[in-house]
Amino acid sequence: MRGRLAWTLASAAAIVVIAAALGLLANAVSGAGISLVATRAPPGRAIELNEARGLLEGDAARFIDARPYDDFLAGHIAGAVSVPLAERAGKLDQLRRELPRTQPLVVYCDGGDCGSASELSAWLAGNGWRDVRVLVDGYPVWAAAGFPIARGEGP
């Protein structure tokens, strides 16, 4: 009986050790491998206009429009996803499907005096996105600078 218990524990430990070794090895050599320690940037960090434009042009971040949907239709940063602050809860499943949690996000609203971008960035960070920043100047300054915008439903 004691021999069987020892065998059971030993083989269970061997399974876990072999699996861990295989997992770490596969993660190291696979193209889909991930860093072993995840990090999360503090939410609500500001990003300046030109740096944000660099991220857009380098396809290094997704932009999130926190304004009401009518404002998004009238004009938004090219490629942005509409997540009106008041409707954020209903958008969560869609965001989880479409945006990996490691995807850097830039949230914006109508400028320095609108709080919805900060609030939405805190909500996104609270739901697991690890690098969420706020475009302090918002959409009006972006559009006035002649940076890429789009109109209508599409991103």
- The phi, psi pair for 113, rounded to 5°, reads -95, 5
Cα angle 65, 71, 75; round to 5 = 80
Give the residue with the Cβ less far from another protein, 14 or 145. 14
- What is the rounded distance in angstroms from the CA atom of residue 101 to the CA atom of residue 105? 9
Q: How far is the CB of 42 from another protein (least distance, A)?
A: 13
Which of 44, 128, 140, 155 binds another protein (CB under 8 A)? It is 128
Q: Residue 64 is inside which H or E element, if any?
A: strand 62-65
Q: Decide: is 2 part of the binding site for another protein (CB under 8 A).
A: no
- What is the closest distance, in whole angstroms, from the C-beta atom of residue 34 to another protein in the complex? 5
Does residue 13 belong to the site contacting another protein (CB under 8 A)? yes
Residue 81 beta carbon to another protein: minimum distance, rounded to whole angstroms = 17
